[in-house]
Amino acid sequence: MKRQLTSFKVAFWGIGYTLTAEPHMRFHLVISIYVIAFANFFHMTPEKWSILFLTAGGVMITEMFNTAVEVICDLQTGSYHPLVKIIKDISSGAVLIAALVSVAVAFFLFGDMKVIGGIVLFFRQNPGSFVLFALSLIVSAAFVLYGPLKIKTFFIKKQ
């Protein structure tokens, strides 16, 4: 049982490392959270929710593999090597494909213009919700750009 708990601990550490070290991972996480939140405006079947979660998870998993490949390459080479560049470019291309597929999936899941109009109407009728949404965008942008450690350091230095 202790080995299983340790396995979970190191797996969560790996997720935390990727979120801390990779702005793209933070971007994918933030976008996924917004997509899931806005999906609540649509009439989503369990099958559509499954597709949504599989797609979002696939992008983040691909980003984590990309990060792992980059770490391995950096560990093996102390300087520029053309083959390492090819490896990193291929790995990053995989993330791009996963992200583009997720955009295509979103287009099919959320292409209903009536619902999109309903979202706009909701924010027009609920300005407080719009303000909260706008504030969440600012917080999300800071999280993506600076990451949790730089934000934490910023606030600790201010005290």
> In this structure, how many other beta carbons lie within 10 angstroms of the beta carbon of residue 112?
12
Rounded Cα distance, 57 and 65, in Å: 12
Per-domain residue ranges of the chain: 2-158
Q: Which residues contact 116 (CB under 8 A, 6 or more apart)?
A: 110
pLDDT of the chain, 159 residues: tens digit per residue: 888 888 889 999 999 999 999 999 999 999 999 999 999 998 899 999 999 999 999 999 999 999 999 999 988 887 888 999 999 999 999 999 999 999 999 999 998 888 899 999 999 999 999 999 999 999 999 999 998 776 656 656 655
Rounded Cα distance, 130 and 121, in Å: 11
The architecture (CATH level 2) of 2-158 comes to Orthogonal Bundle (1.10)
Catalytic machinery residues:
63
Q: Which residues contact 14 (CB under 8 A, 6 or more apart)?
A: 64
